[in-house]
Structure formats: C-alpha cells, structure tokens
C-alpha cells in the first residue's frame, strides 16, 4: 500500500536531499527553490538560516508523496501594527514565507468532479487532490460548484 502524502519538519540533515528541488524556470520560481536549497552561510537568505534565526525562527515542512519530495511550505511569526495607528500595540502575526511545488507535480490536480473524488475507487485522483490541497493554503478548483471547495492549511 502506498504511504500517500507525508510531511516532516525540515532540518539541516535534510539539506542534501533538497538540492535537486525545482519549481520552475522563471525568476520567481527559481527564487523559491533557491531559498530552500540555500546554504547556511552568513548573510544568505535561506531555509537553513531561517529555521535557525535567533530572534524569529521559522518552520519549514517538506511534503513527500510515497517518499518523493513534491513540495515544501514555511511559516514564521512576526509582529504588525495597523498603518497610521502608532499608538496601538503591535499584534502577533503568522506569515507564510514560501510555498513551493516541484515542477513535475504542478498542474496535476484532477478535473474529476468533487463528489467523484470522494469515491475510494479513484485512488490516483485522490493523490493528486491531496498534493494540491495539503500544500495550498486554500485551494478552490475552477470546476467546483460554488458550494464545493477544499480548504487546507500547511500546519
């Protein structure tokens, strides 16, 4: 039986395993992949430096489908104040740093109706839907009726 989609917290011991991560050829896609693959050298904006940041560490999760890396997501805590209201206290806020999906898994969401995906006999459709819904913050397929949506969170 296939293990399905799993996630685990990214650590320095995972760094060598993510060096082939590729979420596309465009500059913004390469920026996402380079952040995950970046070294922990001083001054480098990378996942390794972010998880070990002394003041505001972030958390990074790797998502694998049957042992194959399909994507990652990262969250961090910060503080924010309403613009123009400097007397108000800063509020704690969780932000999404990066979300990346391997190029080979992009666009593989099923075109099958939502109700058909719930059928246990459509295993491959379920896998594709799980990849996209687990990694996305809020996935809504264009073929769904207004009342049909999938909401998922990274953490």
Q: What is the pLDDT of residues 100-120, one digit of tens each?
A: 999 999 987 654 444 444 443
Claim to verify: residue 127 and residue 111 sit in the same structural domain: yes
- Which H or E run contains 33? helix 27-37
Domain count, the chain: 2
Q: Token pair 């073929």 is at which residue? A: 143
Q: Domain range spanning residue 78?
A: 1-105
Strands 58-65 and 91-101: unpaired
Claim to verify: residue 26 and residue 15 sit in the same structural domain: yes
CATH number at residue 10: 3.40.630.30
Distance CA 69, CA 14 (A): 11
Distance CA 99, CA 21 (A): 12
Claim to verify: residue 86 and residue 128 sit in the same structural domain: no
Claim to verify: residue 16 and residue 79 sit in the same structural domain: yes
Structure confidence at residue 24 (pLDDT): 95
Structure confidence at residue 68 (pLDDT): 93
Structure confidence at residue 81 (pLDDT): 84
Structure confidence at residue 87 (pLDDT): 78
Claim to verify: residue 111 and residue 101 sit in the same structural domain: no
Q: Which residues of the chain have pLDDT under 70?
A: 1-3, 85, 109-155
Claim to verify: residue 55 and residue 124 sit in the same structural domain: no
Distance CA 9, CA 106 (A): 22
Claim to verify: residue 123 and residue 153 sit in the same structural domain: yes
Nearest partner of 58 among 101, 22, 96, judged by Cα: 96
Distance CA 112, CA 114 (A): 6
Claim to verify: residue 77 and residue 1 sit in the same structural domain: yes
Claim to verify: residue 47 and residue 101 sit in the same structural domain: yes
Claim to verify: residue 84 and residue 146 sit in the same structural domain: no
Q: Contact 131/66 with Cβ under 8 angstroms?
A: no
Claim to verify: residue 57 and residue 12 sit in the same structural domain: yes
Structure confidence at residue 85 (pLDDT): 67
């Amino acid at each position: 039986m296939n293990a399905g989609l799993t996630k685990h917290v990214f650590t320095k011991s995972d760094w060598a395993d993510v060096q082939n991560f590729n979420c596309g050829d465009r500059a913004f896609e390469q920026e996402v992949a380079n952040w995950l693959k970046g070294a922990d050298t001083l001054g480098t904006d990378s996942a390794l430096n972010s998880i070990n940041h002394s003041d505001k560490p972030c958390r990074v999760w790797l998502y694998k489908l049957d042992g194959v890396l399909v994507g990652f997501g990262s969250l961090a805590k910060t503080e924010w104040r309403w613009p123009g209201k400097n007397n108000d206290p800063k509020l704690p806020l969780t932000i999404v740093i990066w979300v990346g999906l391997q190029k080979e898994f992009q666009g593989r969401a099923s075109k099958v109706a939502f109700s058909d995906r719930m059928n246990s006999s459509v295993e491959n459709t379920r896998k594709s839907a799980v990849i996209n819904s687990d990694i996305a913050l809020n996935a809504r397929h264009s073929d769904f009726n207004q009342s049909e949506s999938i909401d998922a969170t990274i953490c």
